[in-house]
Copies of this chain bind each other. A is one copy, B any other.
Amino acid sequence: MDARAMVARARTVAPRARRVGVDARAAEGVNMRRCGATRARASRADADAAVEAFLNTLKYDDGGLVAAIAQDVDTGAILMQGYANRDAVAYTLKHRKATFWSRSRSQLWCKGETSGNYIAIDSVHVDCDKDSLIYLGVPTGPTCHTGAHTCYYKRVDGPDGAATKASGGRHAAEEALTTLYELEATIEARRVEAKKEGVKPSWTRRLLDDPELLCKKIREEAGELCQTWEENEGKEAAANEMADVLYHSMVMLNKQGVSMTDVLGVLRKRFGTSGVDEKASRPPKKLINVSK
């Protein structure tokens, strides 16, 4: 079985297992035992040859390097960007930990070998020019040496094209937040903002201050999302109602101190199990009256 077929098989047999190296290897292991140890050794040799062939296709610069960008598999946050030589890419593929070539120290650098904050590799992707890689993975702690989640914690532009200067203090607010996390940050900002005399509170703040209203809205919006199908209201209505469901549900998460990262972690961990099996494995739930 060549490397490509192995990947195709892993996707077919256990499409969600590939997210977690151990599970994927376990799934593959079943196949390995069937084929016998000789076949397994042959597969390993094929895989090694495929890695070598891939490493030969990369377009290294004069210093023998390609760019390597580490990205959080749950949130999509870009964690850091460094450079990788042939050995660093090979090490990353083999050991499933994001590894770079340190230009300042002129040595291989498996991120986390000192701090313990590794980036466990989920998958690796190459760009069309073959001179840049994405290391998609799960960080086991803060990526930045400053203790920040990501090294990109400073925003350097303003709405009028002005640049901000380097500073501490507001790191989170200056991260490259994508829409979902910008919404999450906005909800949090509404939670902590001071009430002002004579100024009507924001809708978010009203929901946070009145959880019964919030629950009523969440149930309503879920119903309205269903209604877009039941009443054939069209795609635009469905996107709008889903936006409502997401927003109101995220206010509920904020109310309970839960982040979208927590939720995505739950979804990722479920990937290895089919929904039917996963549901069957859970303890029975109390019956809920959704009309209340």
Contacts and interface: CB of A to CB of B under 8 A. Distances in A.
Contacts of A284: none
Category for how many chain A residues contact B: 35 or more
A202 B280 CA distance: 13
Given A4-B165, A93-B163, 17 more contacts: A50-B163, A73-B179, A93-B157, A124-B156, A129-B151, A132-B152, A182-B271, A183-B267, A200-B276, A203-B274, A203-B276, A211-B229, A219-B226, A222-B290, A227-B288, A229-B255, A290-B290
13 contacts: A3-B158, A6-B160, A10-B159, A15-B186, A16-B186, A28-B159, A47-B160, A50-B164, A93-B161, A200-B276, A242-B266, A245-B245, A246-B246
A21 interface: yes
A176 B235 CA distance: 26
4 nearest A-B pairs in the assembled complex, by CB-CB distance: A76-B76, A291-B291, A203-B275, A24-B159
A291 to B, nearest CB: 3
Given A10-B158, A71-B176, A258 B243 contact: no
B215 A229 contact: yes
A163 B239 CA distance: 37
Contact of A50 (B74, B162, B242, B247): B162
A290 B155 CA distance: 43
A154 B132 CA distance: 11
Q: Which of A160, A175, A202 counts the most chain B CB atoms within 10 A?
A: A160
B256 A54 contact: no
A133 B82 CA distance: 12
B229 A7 contact: no
Given A69-B78, A245-B249, A276-B203, A128 B151 contact: yes
A161 B132 CA distance: 19
Given A54-B163, A202-B275, A288 B255 contact: no
Interface string A79-98: 01100000000000110100
Interface in A19-50: 19, 21, 24-25, 27-28, 43, 46-47, 50
